[in-house]
């Protein structure tokens, strides 16, 4: 089983310019290998909290511990973290393969030593294969569609074998079909690699499909954490075992969105967001 990370956040506060509490006394836990989605209105502090989890933003007060759980026991050294952003941010002068090798050139590989160029290329090819982009390894970003660029960006995140994957509105600029396809891809990668995942999104359906728990934020506070009944304890198992699949198979293929459970939980999250905005 690959290593993964638990997060324990206690009373975390980030104050900017001595005035705004972008994150205010936030407390939550994420178990190893679980997926946590953060939803809430624009400006409520989601990205700031994600940056805290990534170790890119210091806390004004409170604590955040990331603990790696692996075959060699528990470790509190900083976990391997990868980010996927809304913009794929590929270097235009590099082909896909060279964009994916970039993190391996900049940081030591998890084994401790920086891999040789031939090893870097091989790891990047494997990552591109995992996102079904092997055929585009030699193309430049301008030769790729938006969805393809995002796949390369995901491959670049995967290549360092992250224990913690952070996604900030990754598919917000893509159309619905692409969103669905890439959401399914991220789910498949999570099942395979068992990394812990934190997703920031404005899209409730995406939060439900890609999480085990949903944290609702408002004005810097985490106002509630909802267990996702559709995905809870679903790690490495088929979602059809979690809920009644009969109503979701109309088109022949299982689609969680067609289940009554999905509609019901969508309503619960929407109500929670509405409640938060009016209190």
Ligand X SMILES: Nc1ncnc2c1ncn2[C@@H]1O[C@H](COP(=O)(O)OP(=O)(O)OP(=O)(O)O)[C@@H](O)[C@H]1O
Q: d(Cα 142, Cα 95) in Å, to the nearest integer?
A: 10
203 touches ligand X (CB under 6 A): no
Report in angstroms how near the CB of residue 20 gets to ligand X at its nearest.
5
58 touches ligand X (CB under 6 A): no
Q: How many CB atoms are closer than 10 A to CB 237? A: 11
3-state helix, strand, coil in the chain (%, to 5): 40, 25, 35
Report in angstroms how near the CB of residue 17 gets to ligand X at its nearest.
5
Three-state helix/strand/coil letters over 165-214: EEEECCCCCCCHHHHHHHHHHHHHHHHHHCCEEEEECCCHHHHHHCCCEE
84 touches ligand X (CB under 6 A): no
201 touches ligand X (CB under 6 A): no
Q: d(Cα 95, Cα 97) in Å, to the nearest integer?
A: 6
Q: Which of 46, 69, 179, 218 binds ligand X (CB under 6 A)?
A: 46
Q: Which of 42, 77, 246, 279 binds ligand X (CB under 6 A)?
A: 42
Report in angstroms how near the CB of residue 11 gets to ligand X at its nearest.
18
Residue in this structure with the two tokens 């891809």, named with its chain if needed: 185
Q: Which of 2, 8, 43, 263 binds ligand X (CB under 6 A)?
A: 43
56 touches ligand X (CB under 6 A): no
Report in angstroms how near the CB of residue 143 gets to ligand X at its nearest.
30
45 touches ligand X (CB under 6 A): yes
44 touches ligand X (CB under 6 A): yes
216 touches ligand X (CB under 6 A): no
Residues 6 or more apart from 138 whose CB is under 8 A from it? 95, 96, 97
Closer residue to ligand X, CB minimum distance, 16 or 264: 16
Question: Please, are residues 221 and 43 in contact by the beta-carbon 8 Å criterion?
Answer: no
95 touches ligand X (CB under 6 A): no
Which chain residues interact with ligand X by CB under 6 A? 16-17, 20, 22, 40, 42-48
């Amino acid at each position: 089983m690959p290593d993964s990370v638990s997060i324990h956040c206690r009373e975390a506060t980030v104050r900017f310019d001595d005035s705004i509490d972008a994150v205010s006394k936030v407390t939550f836990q994420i178990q190893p290998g679980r997926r946590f989605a953060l939803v809430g209105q624009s400006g409520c502090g989601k990205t700031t909290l994600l940056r805290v989890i990534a170790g890119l933003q210091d806390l004004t007060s409170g604590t955040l511990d990331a603990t790696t759980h692996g075959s060699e026991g528990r470790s509190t050294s900083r976990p391997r973290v990868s980010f996927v952003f809304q913009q794929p941010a590929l270097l235009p002068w590099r082909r896909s393969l060279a964009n994916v090798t970039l993190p391996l050139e900049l940081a030591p590989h998890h084994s401790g030593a920086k891999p040789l160029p031939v090893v870097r290329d091989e790891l990047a090819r494997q990552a591109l294969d995992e996102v079904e982009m092997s055929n585009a390894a030699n193309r430049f970003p301008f030769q790729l569609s938006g969805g393809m660029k995002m796949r390369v960006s995901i491959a670049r995140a995967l290549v360092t074998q992250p224990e913690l994957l952070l996604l900030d509105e990754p598919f917000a600029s893509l159309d619905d079909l692409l969103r669905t396809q890439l959401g399914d891809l991220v789910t498949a990668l999570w099942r395979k690699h068992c990394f812990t995942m934190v997703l920031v999104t404005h899209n409730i359906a995406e939060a439900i499909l890609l999480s085990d728990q949903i944290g609702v934020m408002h004005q810097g506070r985490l106002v509630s954490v909802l267990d996702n009944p559709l995905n809870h304890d679903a790690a490495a198992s088929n979602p059809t075992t979690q809920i009644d699949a009969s109503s979701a198979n109309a088109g022949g293929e299982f689609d969680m969105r067609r289940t009554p459970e999905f509609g019901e939980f969508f309503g619960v999250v929407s109500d929670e967001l509405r409640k938060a905005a009016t209190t």
